[in-house]
Amino acid sequence: MLRLPAFQLLRPATVAEATHMLAELGPQAAPLAGGTDLLPKMKRRQLQPRYLVSLRGLRELRGWSGSPEQGLVLRAGCTLAEVAAQPAVRSAYRALAEAVAVCSNPILHRMGTLGGNLCLDTRCTYYDQTEHWRQALGWCMKAPGPRTPEEVPCRVAPGGSRCWAVSAGDGAPALIALGAKVRLVGARGERVLPLEDLYRDDGIRYLDKSPDELVVEVLLPPADGLRSTYRKVRRRGSLDFAALGVAAAVRQDPDGTVTSCRLVLGGVASRPLVLEEVASLLVGQRLEQEVLERVSEAVYRAVHPMDNTDFTVLYRRRTAPVHVRRALEALAS
């Protein structure tokens, strides 16, 4: 059996209590939500927190409020199944509904939470392996085993000084395209920030937050005519993480002219890749072949995946423009 390392399980009753526990224990502790990312990683000894702070009992993290007209608030403890079933998400925030639907599989949907999905660890072929596999290779910078990160190279880009592990969650690109913000609560207070600002371009320190800060809410702006979609490239129709995720959201005038556009890719960088310049090519245009052609070329130039996920780098780079285009075509029709 692949067993968990020993740890202590703490069960706070409120978010405030949880954040104080996390602040006191520092990097030795981790929040435990559905555990569907954290526990497999602990079994493989990629992560070994000595304390797990269970968020399961926190009522403050349950449920949702609002509407597509006012804006929707989804609390971090909602399971992915609850998010997918939420009527406003299904009707007005399609990219999120579609992203959650293609996440993992239906059993994991009922276990995994929205907060856990947004804080998902980054992924890499050389990291998501058992301890023995990684030891045989001599470890890597992100999980250096008994050594220090300075002593071991990155296996993907050995000459460099950073980790290129990939942000492969499905929720984040969709929510960023939809203009979502997140509310973080820490031991010293709370703050609201655009979701894209939660992520850093670093495979090791991939979240721009302190260890005691919890994601408590996702705030979606009023839908206001926004139309959106999410596409995912993976080997199997279920279970696999995204080798590529494409979230697109557009607002159009009645004559079809695009007034605003957001394009966000998952699976190609250490953070969700927001294609701001590419999206700006669409503003003031209709979603017609000639414009889509230019957008495709710009996507190809903007995407530089590293060789550390499923499929070849060349395939992933070439497939990105194809799927951005298909997403936009779906929104045009």
Partner 1 sequence: MERAVRLKVNGQEHRVLVPPHRTLLEVLREDLGLVGTKHGCELGECGVCTVLVDGEPALSCLVLAHEVEGHEVTTVEGLATDGQLHPVQRAFVESGALQCGYCTPAMVLVTKALLDRVPEPSGEQVREAVAGVFCRCTGYVKILEAVQAAARRLREARA
Ligand X SMILES: Cc1cc2nc3c(=O)[nH]c(=O)nc-3n(C[C@H](O)[C@H](O)[C@H](O)COP(=O)(O)OP(=O)(O)OC[C@H]3O[C@@H](n4cnc5c(N)ncnc54)[C@H](O)[C@@H]3O)c2cc1C
| 203 lines the binding site for ligand X (CB under 6 A) | no
Write phi, then psi, for 106 (nearest 5 degrees): -60, -30
CB nearer to ligand SF4: pick between 62 and 205:
205
Q: Provide DSSP, 241-297.
A: PPSEEEEEEEEE-TTS-EEEEEEEEESSSSS-EE-HHHHHTTTTS-S-HHHHHHHHH
Alpha-carbon span 263 to 196, nearest angstrom: 12
Count CB neighbours of 240 within 10 A.
16
| 165 lines the binding site for ligand SF4 (CB under 6 A) | yes
Q: Which does 6 bind (CB under 5 to 8 A by kind): partner 1, ligand SF4, ligand X, none?
A: partner 1
Q: Interface with ligand X by CB under 6 A: which range of 112-120, 158-166, 194-202, 296-304? A: 112-120
Q: Which does 7 bind (CB under 5 to 8 A by kind): ligand SF4, ligand X, partner 1, none?
A: partner 1
| 221 lines the binding site for ligand X (CB under 6 A) | no
Q: Per CB under 8 A, which of residues 208..237 are in contact with partner 1?
A: 237
Count CB neighbours of 91 within 10 A.
11
Tokens 């009707």 correspond to what residue? 91
3-class SS string, 186-210: ECCEEEEEEHHHHECCCCCCCECCC
Alpha-carbon span 218 to 171, nearest angstrom: 11
CB nearer to ligand X: pick between 112 and 203:
112
Q: Interface with ligand X by CB under 6 A: which range of 1-9, 109-117, 148-156, 279-287? A: 109-117
| 44 lines the binding site for ligand SF4 (CB under 6 A) | no
Tokens 């509904």 correspond to what residue? 97
The answer to whether residues 74 and 61 touch, using CB atoms and an 8 Å cutoff, is no
Mask for 238-277, x = binds partner 1 (CB under 8 A): xx--------------------------------------
| 120 lines the binding site for ligand SF4 (CB under 6 A) | no
Mask for 137-156, x = binds ligand SF4 (CB under 6 A): ---xxx-----------xxx
Count CB neighbours of 291 within 10 A.
16
Task: Out of 21, 42, 80, 331, name the contact with ligand X by CB under 6 A.
Answer: 80
| 113 lines the binding site for ligand X (CB under 6 A) | yes
Q: What does DSSP say about strands 8-10 and 51-54: parallel, antiparallel, or unpaired?
A: parallel
Residues that bind ligand X (CB under 6 A): 30-38, 40, 55, 76, 80, 103-104, 108, 111-113, 115-117, 119-121, 169-171, 214-215, 239, 241
